[in-house]
Structures are given as C-alpha cells and as structure tokens.
Amino acid sequence: MNERIHIGVGGWTFEPWRDNFYPKGLPHKEELAYASRHLTAIEINGTFYSTFKPAQFAKWRDETPEGFVFSLKAHRFATYRRDLSTAREPIERFVGSGIAELRDKLGPIVWQLMPSAKFDADNVGAFFAMLPKEAAGRPLKHVLDARHESFDCEPYFELAERYGVGTVHSDSDDYPGLADAGSELAYLRLMRTSADCPTGYPTEEIAKWVQGARAWAGKGPGREVFMYFISGAKERNPAAAMEALRLLAG
C-alpha cells in the first residue's frame, strides 16, 4: 500500500535548499538526482510557465530512480481563460509536447484554474470532455486545481467523478480544501509550512496527514495518494516531505 502513496515537493531548484537540503558543493546539475533519491515524487511547476521538448522529459526520467513519479502542472495557456471550452488547442499542444517520455514516471497532470474562476457546470464539463485519456499510448491521470470556493458543491464533484478527474485538496489560508470522497486519486498540496518549525509542519500534524493517506489508499487497490509540501515556507518543504516519508515507513 505504501508504494501508492507518493510524497515530495514542488520543483527541485531553489537556492535556500542548497543550505539545508542539498549537500554543500553539490553541482546544480545533480540536484534532481539527489532529490529523487530522498523523496518519492516531485511536482514540476516549470511546465506551467514554459514549454519543454521531449528530450528534456527523457532526461528527467533517466536522472531519477525506478518508482519515482513526477506530477506535471499543465501550461497556464490552457486554463487561465474565462471560456474553458476554447482550450482544446493548448491542451493538445501540452499533452503532445513529449510528456509521454517520462514513461512509468508520469504521474497526474494538474490543471490549475485562475483563483477567480467560479464553478460553471457547462464550462467545466466542456473542459473535462477535452482532456485526453492517453498520450502516446500511456494512460493519463488528470487533476483539477480549482481555487474558488464555489467548486465545493455536489454538482462539481459529480462532474469530476463522471469524467474521472481528481481534485486538488489544498491546506491553505488562500484556497478551499476541496475533498472529493468519490475519487480514486487524492492529491494534496500542503501549503502551511512554517519557517519556525524545522520540519515545516509539527510532526504530529504531519502524522495526521500520513494517517489519512494510509486510510485513503487502504480503501482499494486502485487508490493512490500524492502529497506535496509546496509554497509556504518553501525552505522547509524538503524536511517536511522527508518527515512524512519517515512516518510512512514507520
């Protein structure tokens, strides 16, 4: 069951991590290799802002160990728009950009909406209907990062379940903590790490998240959890993720 619980951070290039996560003097080009051997997943945020070539995805795949998984934030051109039904071209461009080169290390694709985007069943349904089920023969998992409280309603969750789309659950002061009990996929973005706490979150709080992840994954063999410590006091996020992994192993 633990192999279906993936824990990590957002990105791997962050200057303060060179003081408290990466060994002193570690070449920058070796940071992904190091991070991927201390965590079990990373959410790639660069794909939200830039377009990468297939060779880059293949390089990331080859630098990481077996069993490691990447989540990808889809390009904002697809989601930062009022009319989501017009997003077909950027959706297809992102999925066809070479993400399948990650092979077995390709995890969920996160489609992040504008914070101001309110739930509209027709708009969201049209978007979900355009999300491809595979890329170069590899099945895709999709997750919506909705950042407006209007999404916390049964019509949205029913729509997400109909299309097999997961929903980001944010632990945040700024975004709603949407909880989709009908999904097979739990996607957690834990955004309250504190600089004053060596492990970002107090250990007892991390233990509750790990316990919840175990309970979720234990409800069925198809259930999977992605837990990312992201934003907040970013310099503490690797320590938080490693503490969660320690508790999971225990």
> Angle at the Cα of 138 (from 137 to 139), degrees rounded to 5?
115
Token look-up 């990650």 returns 102
pLDDT the model gives residue 26: 96
Contact 77, 111 (CB under 8 A): no
Cα distance between residue 107 and residue 216, in whole Å: 18
- Write out pLDDT tens, residues 19-46: 899 999 999 999 999 999 999 999 999 9
pLDDT the model gives residue 179: 93
For 5, residues 6+ apart whose C-beta sits below 8 A from its C-beta are 210, 213, 214, 217, 224, 225, 227, 248
Token look-up 């297939």 returns 54
The total domain count for the chain is 1
* Range of lowest pLDDT (142-146, 182-186, 191-195, 204-208): 182-186
Contact 110, 78 (CB under 8 A): no
- Three-state DSSP at 221 gives coil
pLDDT the model gives residue 209: 98
Residue type, 234: K
pLDDT the model gives residue 161: 96
Cα distance between residue 132 and residue 172, in whole Å: 30
Confidence of residue 90 (pLDDT cuts 50, 70, 90): very high
H helix runs in the chain, sequence order: 17-20, 31-35, 46-49, 54-63, 88-95, 121-130, 154-163, 203-217, 237-249
Q: What average pLDDT score do residues 139-157 get?
A: 97
Whether pLDDT at 118 is above 90? yes
Contact 206, 236 (CB under 8 A): no
Domain of residue 100, residue span: 2-249
- Write out pLDDT tens, residues 149-203: 999 999 999 999 999 999 999 999 999 999 998 899 999 999 999 999 999 999 9
Whether pLDDT at 116 is above 90? yes
Whether pLDDT at 217 is above 90? yes
Average pLDDT of the chain, as a whole number: 97
Q: What is the DSSP letter of 21?
A: T
Contact 71, 109 (CB under 8 A): yes
CATH of the domain at 88: 3.20.20.410
Query: DSSP 3-state helix, strand, coil percentages of the chain (rounded to 5)?
Result: 40, 20, 40
Percent of the chain, pLDDT > 90?
Answer: 98
pLDDT the model gives residue 1: 79
